[in-house]
Amino acid sequence: MRQIARMRRGAATAALLTVALTGSLLAGCSSGGGRADARGEQPGRHPQDGDRTSAAPAGPLLAVKIDNVPAARPQTGLDQADIVYAEQVEGGLSRLMAVFATKLPSVVGPVRSARESDLEVLRQFHDPTLAFSGAQHKLLPLIDKAPLTPEPPDKNSGAYFRAGGKVAPHNLYLRPQRLLRSAPGAAALTTGFRFGAAPSGGTPETTRTVRFPSARFTFTWSARQHSWLVAMDGTPTVTPDGARVAPATVVVQYVRVRASHFHDVLGNNSPYSETVGSGRAQVLRDGRVFDAHWQRPSATDGTRFTTTDGAPMNFAKGQVWVVLAKA
């Protein structure tokens, strides 16, 4: 009987080894094709390199809420973000969310508070880290439950510092490398954006202004820099050393802007910019403007942009600004 038991255990072990080896071989054979994940993305595909692939992201990307009133300017690190989202906040003003994946600047800021809309925008990324200075107290439980890693100053005070030259609350800055050991790489940018040659058509465009009730963004084409020079509220957007912030692509994404369930300390309602759904957009690249359509079926999907005839809308390689304008 013992001999029979040993024989049965030996057969079971052999079967398990066979399954393991078969699984390894199948995994090795399928790695070149890369199955799409739940967002429909190809794991390891570099979003700005066409058909070339790169390693999977080394970790989460970093999103930072950045102050955007005149007292907060010039901002630091804004020029090194991969994506900058501009959204409407209380009183018709604007706030920025900078997304970093391919590089981590030494300092970013000034850092300000989060909004409910940010949680929806960030669902398209896998476990992002969100740096922010606080939020309306009723919103904090939603941030804690969201699929992200919140990193406010009260959780990681060593990553933040107050800088001279500006008054509070416009002087709080972040050292990103105290939150992330390294930049995860472009593979972490699971937005659905496509990069490549411009589609045919488009209309020549040298300047475009997008207005919020109490803020405005102007993008002026620079043929010399082959990018769009940013100005906010009539003032050029520059780095602390005076260099212009100049994205390669600007997306004006027209969305529904509705009242949220939250208010600021003065009782002003916080607008909610809906980024799940579909609508029209305009894409500025290469000195031209292209009419486009955007679609994001669910919060975990990236946002797909197409031309008016349904072809994929490619962006120019480089920084992308997305202005969430009221439809």
Its CATH class, for the domain covering 194-252+276-326, is alpha beta
For the cut 50, the answer to whether the pLDDT of residue 16 exceeds it is no
Q: What does pLDDT average to over the chain?
A: 86
What amino acid is encoded at 223 in this protein?
A: A
Q: Are 191 and 61 in contact (CB under 8 A)?
A: no
What pLDDT is attached to residue 79?
97
Q: Same CATH fold, 194-252+276-326 and 62-188? A: yes
In 3D space, the residue among 284, 280, 287 whose CA is nearest the CA of residue 314 turns out to be 284
C-alpha 111/C-alpha 108 separation (Å) is 7
Instruction: Provide the percentage of residues in the chain whose pLDDT is more than 90.
Output: 78
Give the domain 62-188 fold: YerB-like fold (3.50.90)
For the cut 80, the answer to whether the pLDDT of residue 46 exceeds it is no
Residue 83's H or E segment, with its range, is strand 83-88
In 3D space, the residue among 208, 199, 134, 137 whose CA is nearest the CA of residue 169 turns out to be 134
What pLDDT is attached to residue 262?
82
What does the domain layout of the chain look like in residue ranges?
62-188, 194-252+276-326
Q: Tens digits of per-residue pLDDT, 119-164? A: 999 999 999 999 999 998 999 999 999 999 999 999 999 999 999 9
Q: Are 136 and 100 in contact (CB under 8 A)?
A: no
Q: Are 86 and 153 in contact (CB under 8 A)?
A: no
For the cut 80, the answer to whether the pLDDT of residue 44 exceeds it is no
What pLDDT is attached to residue 258?
95
The full DSSP string for 177-231 is GGT-SS---GGG--S--EESSPPS--EE-SEEEEEETTEEEEEEEETTTTEEEEE
For the cut 80, the answer to whether the pLDDT of residue 37 exceeds it is no
For the cut 50, the answer to whether the pLDDT of residue 15 exceeds it is no
What pLDDT is attached to residue 144?
95
Residue 142's H or E segment, with its range, is helix 140-145
What pLDDT is attached to residue 20?
36
Token pair of 327 as six digits: 């439809």
**DSSP annotation of 265:** T
Q: pTM above the 0.85 mark?
A: no
